[in-house]
Structure 1
Amino acid sequence: MSESPAVLEFTGTAQDVVTSVHTAGPVRQVRLPNGVPVWLVTRHTEVREALSDPRLSNHDRNDWFDQGALSPQVRSAMNTSMLRLDPPDHTRLRKLIAKAFVPRRIEALRPRVGQLTGDLLDRMAAGSAEVDVITGYASPLPIQVICELLGVAVEDRANYREWADAFAAGLGAPVFPVQAVTDFVEHLQGLIARRRAEPDDALLSALIAARDQADRLTEDELISTAFLFIVAGHETTTNLIGNGLYLLLRNPELADRIRAHPEELPRAIEEFLRYESPVTGASLRTATEAMNLFGAEVAAGDLVMMSLHAANRDGTAFPDADGFQPGRERNPHLSFGYGIHFCMGAPLARLEAQVAIGEFLARFPQARLAVDADAVEWRPGLLTRGLAALPVRLAG
């Protein structure tokens, strides 16, 4: 990539970058904290178009996040999911995985999600009057759900949560968590070996058995798919629940309205997804050829990142884009992506958010923020946006 004096250093949260580039045109050069230069696409129309551009490959260059620090074996094992592949391999994997990840399996989880939610709420109610809703609620619920769905043993779930958090925080960071990711992959390898020998009725065993005629998932594809489900199923849903509760609790009248009219919660969740996007950027693509990308001359091999957060705050796509409007009727947000890589887990994330947020509001009608709304701390992150903590007083 040819350098320019206008290259923006990415040093903080996704929101910091969006604020800096929103008026600078649809494409801007930025440098990640680990020094890797990328082209950042920021406007809704252009982001959606770029997400469907076959010249931008998900597969061609996949070492930007660790810059070669991982062993080739570990990188292949954690980076060969359908998210990192182009057609026809992407098409083949998505078709195979869809057979095990059908909507009826997701909807059948609703009672269990409700039970897990109730258990966590009981623990919070029995504890102190002030709690951190992230560590006590928004984070443990999604990891329990995705681990149960996959068939991960209870005693291993705390490790999976730590590994997933480390990976998400390490993307594009100056120091990548090599040991945590290596441990994550090795544990998944062992789990798959056990489930192959002793299958159960969980999703991982279904993925092992999934086939289309003589075509199965390879070992790396299995590991990468499990890796993707755990990271995406935990990190992004944690952020959706946490960000949503934060937006409601900083607007007590809105929280009271949702309590009185729970049928309005699904539409409010779509605005949570838009306004404080839990996934701020799509997985990075690589230009497979020299191209003019919305006025920017991009060389073959250059990295391109689509900012979902910036697209969701684009005033040409959303009236009052920087305003929080939970009743927004037209809401074509891009928080689950667009095109062939649209998030397969979107129905599960929405289900968990509906149950978790709705049950929290019902259980704690007097809950209020324990700190000033502007004093909450957002975790630094390249592709995700979530709170480090959400202190809440449960009773008035």
Structure 2
Amino acid sequence: MAQPVVDPADDLPRFPMARRPGFDPPTEYARLRADDPVTPVRLRHGQRAWLVTRYADVRRVLSDPATFSSDPSRPGYPQLRPVVDRKAAPGSFLVTDPPLHTRYRRILAHDFTAARMEVWRPRVERIVEECLDAFLASARPADLVAGFALPIPTQVTAAMLGVPYADREFFTSRSRRHLDRSLPAEEVRAALGELESYLAELIAAKDRDPGEDLVSRLVTRYLRTGEVSRDELVGMTVLLLVGGYETTANAISLSVLALLEHRAEWERLVAEPERVDAAVDELLRYLGLTQHGLVRAVTEDVELGGRLIRAGEGVIVSLSSANRDAGRFVDADRLDVCRSAKGHLTFGWGVHQCIGQHLARLEMSLALRALVRRAPDLRVTVPLAEIPFHFETPFYSVRSLPVTW
């Protein structure tokens, strides 16, 4: 598809907006929340959409899937990726509406409940401690991303799904390219295609010889009975694999960096590690991990934030802006590990709220507890300005984080 050329005379703000290194969302968001909380913006392919920045408006959009559709085949669906999505891929439950979305979530829900995550707690604890043993035995300074933050969720996700951990270089490299919004569309498509082919072969192997893992259970219970197609199962597995390790690895590394940059907050957790569980939600609120937000197509005329939005237009809801809304969180731009951040929107809201949120919280909590207990003197070895951040992906992260102890 030829990409439309944006008229230089067009004075609409371009989205996504530039973000500076650190933890704050783009500076424009604070002004927009105050003065223009639902504002028109211009996207990469020349498309016009509405950017929603206030907490209440973002939550309203996410609570109404009938009016604000996740289906890319709907008119007005905002296109943020290099690849223009004309329809949802089979099994892609992130970009489907009820009742199809309901069917997909029902198939997966049992394996991601809070109770089910408690069953996984001993194994996750063991993985965390083993990763930290290896990390603390390495030469200093050491990269916290490669040595600790990434191996934990990669191992946990591989074990849960039944994906060979030995193949991590293959699937992590393809996942990164698939998510990289600075790459040409052809390269993004190729990376996803290679990942889908790999997982299709894995599913076929599970069909021949199922094990005790999640993919095997989905094969035996749903694929063999015809309740899901092979393409649908591949699509589900792509989302579970990429979402299972990528976002949590980012959250762990950015959490450590934020705490070390706000040393008093780190020291508070060192002195009172029982605060870590509550601190996880505050970190999730503060960090702006979902930096480009979520997109929806409007199915009927609706008033939002004082604007009339027509059917066939699109909206982008900024989770990072909503989480910094002073109307919802007092002193919202300050990291405070003693704060109750209940109600933050990092995992979304409504029917599409992240299915893996309980697992992510568990991994983050156990990783941070282990670090404050065993490496209380941890510190970053370079200034914040020298740390390489990922700005071109939908999930904010650092490429590397050199630390010593």
Task: Find the aligned partners of 1:29 and 1:368 in 2 and give their Cα distance.
Answer: 42
Matched, 1:76 2:86: no
Cα separation, partners in 2 of 1:37 and 1:232, compared to 1, 3 Å: farther
Deviation readout 1:200-258 (Å, 9 max, x if unpaired): 1101111223459x772222321121111112111211121111111211233322221
- How high is the sequence identity, in percent, across the aligned residues? 31
Q: Does 1:6 align with 2:16?
A: no
Helix, strand or coil: the match of 2:294? coil
Contact 2:49 2:78 (C-alpha < 8 Å) held by counterparts = no
Contact 1:163 1:184 in 2 (8 A): yes
After TM superposition, the structure 1 = structure 2 runs for residues 63-212 of structure 1, keeping only pairs within 5 Å, are 64-66=79-81, 76-77=89-90, 80-170=91-181, 175=185, 177-211=188-222
| Aligned residue among 288, 294, 313 for 2:299 | 288
Q: Does 1:354 align with 2:345?
A: no
Deviation at 1:156, TM superposition (A): 1.5
Which residue among 1, 20, 25 is the counterpart of 1:15? 25
CA contact (8 A) 1:313 1:322 kept: yes
Residue type at the aligned position of 1:136: G
**Structure 2: how far apart are the matches of 1:113 and 1:238?**
14
1:28 deviates by 1.9
CA 303–381 in structure 1, closer or farther in 2 if over 3 Å, else same: farther
User: Are the structure 2 counterparts of residues 137 and 236 from structure 1 closer, same or farther at C-alpha, using a change threshold of 3 Å?
Assistant: same
* Alpha-carbon spacing, 1:250–1:159, altered in 2? closer, same or farther (3 Å): same
Q: Cα–Cα, structure 1 residues 41 and 173, in superposed 2: closer, same or farther, change >3 Å?
A: farther
In 1: Cα distance, 2:359 partner to 2:141 partner: 29
Moved more, 321-330 or 98-107: 98-107
- Pair 1:321-2:332 in alignment: yes
Q: Equivalent residue of 2:398, what SS?
A: coil
Of the three residues 228, 232, 247, the one matched with 2:239 is 228
Change (3 A) 1:309 1:9: closer
Q: Is the 8 A contact 1:196 1:205 kept in 2?
A: yes
Structure 2 match to 1:59: 71
AA aligned opposite 2:89: S
1:256 is aligned to 267
Question: Could you tell which deviates more after superposition, 305-314 or 324-333?
Answer: 324-333
Q: 2:56 aligns with which of 23, 33, 45?
A: 45
Of the structure 1 ranges 368-377 and 80-89, higher mean CA displacement relative to structure 2 is found in 368-377
1:160 Cα offset (Å): 1.4
Deviations 1:309-347 (A, max 9, x none): 000001111110111111113532111111111111111
| Contact kept? 2:177, 2:183, Cα under 8 Å | no
Distance 1:37 1:142 in 2: 37
Structure 1 stretches (4+) deviating beyond 4 angstroms?
33-36, 65-72, 172-176
Distance 1:355 1:76 in 2: 34
CA gap of 1:129–1:382, structure 2 versus 1, over 3 A, is closer
Deviations 1:48-77 (A, max 9, x none): 0000122111114379355657898xx724
Which of 216, 225, 241 lines up with 2:252 in the alignment? 241
1:158: how far off?
1.8
Shift of 1:36: 4.2
- State the alpha-carbon separation in 1 of the partners of residues 365 and 249 from structure 2: 13
Residues 24, 173 of structure 1: alpha-carbon distance in 2 compared, 3 angstrom cutoff: farther
Q: TM-score scaled by structure 1? A: 0.89
**Alpha-carbon offset, residue 35 of structure 1:** 4.4
Q: In structure 1, what is the Cα distance between the partners aligned to 2:167 and 2:145?
A: 20
What is the CA RMSD across the aligned residues, in angstroms? 2.9
Structure-1 separation of matches of 2:313 and 2:396:
25
Query: In the aligned structure 2, how far is the partner of 1:71 from the partner of 1:35?
Result: 16
| 1:383 Cα offset (Å) | 2.9
Letter in 2 for 1:118: E
1:101–1:328 Cα change, 3 Å: closer
- Deviating more after overlay: 319-328 vs 112-121: 112-121
Match of 1:29 among 40, 44, 47: 40
Amino acid in the other structure paired with 2:70? N
Mean Cα deviation higher: 324-333 or 279-288: 279-288
Q: Distance in 1 between matches of 2:83 and 2:286?
A: 35
Are 2:403 and 1:392 equivalent residues in the alignment? yes
Q: Distance in 1 between matches of 2:404 and 2:250?
A: 20
Structure 1: tracts of 5 or more residues without a match: none
Distance 2:123 2:341 in 1: 32
- Please say if residues 44 and 80 of structure 2, whose CA atoms lie closer than 8 Å, have aligned partners that are also in contact: no
Tell me if structure 2 keeps the 8 A contact 1:82–1:94.
yes
Secondary structure of 1:15 counterpart:
coil
Q: How many residues align?
A: 389
| Distance (whole Å) between structure 1 residues aligned to residue 286 and residue 280 of structure 2 | 10
Aligned counterpart, 1:334: 345
Letter in 2 for 1:288: T
Q: CA deviation at 1:349?
A: 0.3
C-alpha distance in 2, partners of 1:236/1:316? Answer: 27
- In the superposition, relative to structure 1, how do residues 192 and 63 fare at CA in structure 2: closer, same or farther (>3 Å)? farther
Distance 1:188 1:128, change over 3 A: same
